[in-house]
Amino acid sequence: MAESSAWVYSDTVKEHFLHPRNILRDDEDFAADGSGTVGSVQCGDEMLVLIKVADGRIADCRWRTYGCASAIASTSALSEMAKGMTLGEAARITPKQIMAYLGGLPEAKVHCSVLGDKALRAAIDDYAARNGVTLGKEKRPPVIICDCTAASDQDIMQAARDGAVTWGELQQKTKIGTGCGKCKERAMEALDEAIFEIHHETMKIHE
């Protein structure tokens, strides 16, 4: 792909970046039923997603991010997609669906959409924990992170549970990145998120 075309945004991305939907205003008192925050140290992004739930569906949501144009557009799109969905449906929104909704993202920015769906899941998990609701996480479809080896986010999560922290340890446990190697950045972000999620679970157990 030519360097210049790698940074072309679709009209939908531009529209959501310039006019983001459901953004949390500073003066807004949004009484959330669930709250989720995720961040990526490498990217400098941080995302907060808040949800209101009625009859098992996402009745409303708000979000805030310190991320880039893609992060803003992808979270705006995600917030529109999630409204009206059941909690299970919303928890299964994939980065691929967000990208399809946006008409694509520059390849270098794809990882930004991953944070949005993770933040939404964290908000749903928070709602579930507050209300004693059990969600079937295992029913989420795996998201392929490495096209060469077909390693998915679930493989990375398992590797993290098995103690992988570094790229070398992740490769040893999953064989990820042993082809063209272009998935390294996204895989390491997925590993960071998996470690964050495991840490979050551990905190809940000790609360």
Catalytic residue positions, numbered: 43, 112
Q: How many CB atoms lie within 10 A of CB 50?
A: 25
Bridge partners of residue 63, in order along the sequence: 23, 49
Given the rule CB under 6 A, which of 34-42, 119-127, 143-151, 189-197 is the region that contacts ligand FES?
Answer: 143-151
Is 120:77 a contact under the CB 8 Å cutoff? Answer: no
Assess 146 for contact with ligand FES (CB under 6 A).
Answer: yes
User: In the bound complex, what is the minimum distance in angstroms from residue 187's beta carbon to ligand FES?
Assistant: 7
The answer for residues whose C-beta is within 8 angstroms of residue 9's C-beta and 6 or more apart is 17, 69, 70, 73, 105, 106
Is 62:28 a contact under the CB 8 Å cutoff? Answer: yes
User: In the bound complex, what is the minimum distance in angstroms from residue 147's beta carbon to ligand FES?
Assistant: 4
> Judged by CB under 6 A, which of 131, 181, 199, 204 binds ligand FES?
181
Given the rule CB under 6 A, which of 5-13, 36-44, 59-67, 181-189 is the region that contacts ligand FES?
Answer: 181-189
HSE-CB for 144 with a 13 A CA cutoff: 5
166 or 178: CB nearest ligand FES: 178
Assess 95 for contact with ligand FES (CB under 6 A).
Answer: no
Assess 177 for contact with ligand FES (CB under 6 A).
Answer: yes
46 or 169: CB nearest ligand FES: 169
Query: Which of the 8 DSSP states describes residue 123?
Result: H
**Residue 206: phi, psi to the nearest 5?**
-90, 0
Given the rule CB under 6 A, which of 75-83, 120-128, 135-143, 144-152 is the region that contacts ligand FES?
Answer: 144-152
Is 55:129 a contact under the CB 8 Å cutoff? Answer: no
Residues at the interface with ligand FES (CB under 6 A)? 146-149, 177-183
